[in-house]
Structure 1
Amino acid sequence: MNFTDGEYTLTLGGVRQWVRVDGARHDTVPLVLVHGGPGGNHYVFERTAGPLLARERTVVYHEQRGCGRSDAPADVRAYDVDTLVRDLDALRSALGVPALDLLGYSFGGGLALAYAHAYPWHVRRVVAQAPALDLTDPRLVECQIAGFLEVAFGEVRALIEAILASHDPPEVRLERTWQAADLQTVDHFLFHDPAHARRNRAWWRESGLVNSGLMHRVVKARPVLPWQALAAVNVPTLVVVGRHDRNVGVAYARAVSDALPRGQFESLEDAAHFPDVETPETYVEVISRFLADER
């Protein structure tokens, strides 16, 4: 790989996209980080698990088109999964390497698996943290609704219960639930420890980065990766999830691992949807051990 540590702007798929390299001195297979959202960024990961991973590995942060510090495409429809997968392969080509390790979280976990499905010869190993394969999957909808009922109290809970009692389709009820939940409820939904939720939200404010919502509207139209396609992702894959994850859920994450020919599974204690924030040392230890395994 010809890149040294630092920030870069690379034109991938005709769009200028933000990339940062850390740990280039290790000269390992690049570990490309694939963020979630859809429409998110790596600002928080740069301050939690990222630097710990870079102690031993070459880490490449990439913010997808229209996300974080990357430019948006001229066509608001140009956020489909096939395009995002091609952007990742353009990044691999720009890095000058035959193969990547991938670490994707949430939506990014599904996108990493979609890349491994499309380009298995360019992938050494995949880490999929709480991967979401289909943003409208009834199992994910049910998991999130149950999660909000678990953490909501008082007037917010009453409002959510009224929404859930309506005759709207489940995905509409879930969208209305997200809109009805206050910040405290959302933080409790996403995190096991409220202190980590407050720290995470402070980083969000500090970053000044905004999710436009455009990517979400495009990618939810079809699965990131059809469930049946998992059987063809024949690369070593670690599926990792926080034991208290209410956004994707342990059962769903384990089902993804079980459907993969070479899947492994780890559930991390004392964490919900963001173990990289809540238990970064344990999270990195588990991931580093998997990436170092040459079997």
Structure 2
Amino acid sequence: MKNGEYRLMINGIYHWIKVEGQENNTIPLFIIHGGPGGNLYFFERTIGPLLSKERTIIYYEQRGCGRSGSPGTDNAYTFKELIGDFKELQERTGFDKVDLLGYSFGGELALEIAHALPNKINKIILSSPSLIGLKIQYLIQLVGFMSIGDTTLVHKVEQILSQQNSIEEKYLEIWKSVDSESVDRLFFENQNIAKEYRRLTEESGLVNTGLMLKALQNNPPKIPLFERLKDIHQSILIITGAQDRNSGLAISNLIHRNLINSKLILFNKSAHFPYLEETDNFIEKLSAFLE
């Protein structure tokens, strides 16, 4: 495919696609965004053009996300369907094998893709990956808010945690309680980058409906991903911010310990977005790994 933007009909849904760096003639690097339900608008305007100077990059936004169309029902967001979309997309682009860069939930989806399509995936980079099927993921974020919150937020979190309801319900209530500054401190060490992230998020006009997260929570895989990690054989680089308060070092360590061919690198000046807070270092490590 030539450089440019495309809208491809995949499994009955128009998917937004963008190709950059085709002239580099490298194994294409597919960028898999987080969320669940996020988009690539910010990535496309920051680190993406730097990566495409040396590599062929293919962006795509998942069903119901960003500039892609939505499925007919609110439940059509299972991993099986997301993997099916990727499989057809890869076939349509004409590449037998591709590299994957997944950040946050995109890292988890990249691992699911590699597990389902082992002969189609070359190398994988995971940036601050999640495991949304584990309750510990909620606990990490709750502890994260406690670590950056003021007295009011700490009291609010304590009050919610004392309630007699599920951890999922506590999680949702706390997220409804926090202000934008607290969210920025959760995600970023550098608050100037946080402001730019928020500015571009507002500029994009793209919103996360929450439907994908809800659907994935309601339709988890029969065997949790962390129990299947040992079956993934690709060479995998995990890059995690040492200050990550969202998915956290605990999740990255769990993934790293259970993969058979992975390397974990900590970025000491980063929280959940090392590719933004230490961009030069991120590109250097990614390039060396893919070479």
For the superposition of Structure 1 and Structure 2, which TM-score range results when normalised by the shorter chain? Answer: over 0.9
Structure 2 letter corresponding to 1:43: Y
**Aligned runs of 1:1-295 on 2, under 5 Å?**
3-133=1-131, 135-223=132-220, 226-292=225-291
Q: Secondary structure at the match of 1:198?
A: helix
Q: Is the 8 A contact 1:49 1:283 kept in 2?
A: no
Q: What TM-score, normalized by structure 1, do the two folds share?
A: 0.95
Cα deviation digits, residues 175-220 of structure 1 (max 9, x gap) = 1111111111111011111111111000100101111111111112
Q: Is the 8 A contact 2:125 2:238 kept in 1?
A: yes
Separation in 2, partners of 1:151, 1:247: 12
Q: Is the 8 A contact 1:151 1:189 kept in 2?
A: yes
Separation in 1, partners of 2:249, 2:86: 27
Structure 1 letter corresponding to 2:10: L
Separation in 1, partners of 2:46, 2:250: 26
Q: Is the 8 A contact 2:146 2:153 kept in 1?
A: no
Cα deviation digits, residues 236-289 of structure 1 (max 9, x gap) = 111111111011111220220121111111111211111122111111111111
Q: Secondary structure at the match of 1:74?
A: coil
Q: Is the 8 A contact 1:35 1:105 kept in 2?
A: yes
Which structure 1 segments of 5+ residues have no match? Answer: none
Q: Secondary structure at the match of 1:229?
A: helix
Separation in 2, partners of 1:136, 1:121: 25
Q: Secondary structure at the match of 1:209?
A: coil
Q: Secondary structure at the match of 1:29?
A: coil
Cα deviation digits, residues 36-56 of structure 1 (max 9, x gap) = 101100001012221111111
Cα deviation digits, residues 52-108 of structure 1 (max 9, x gap) = 111110000000011000011122221111000011111110110111100111111
223-232 vs 120-129, which deviates more?
A: 223-232
Shift of residue 222 of structure 1?
A: 4.4
Separation in 2, partners of 1:267, 1:221: 33
Structure 2 letter corresponding to 1:130: S
* Aligned residues between the structures: 289
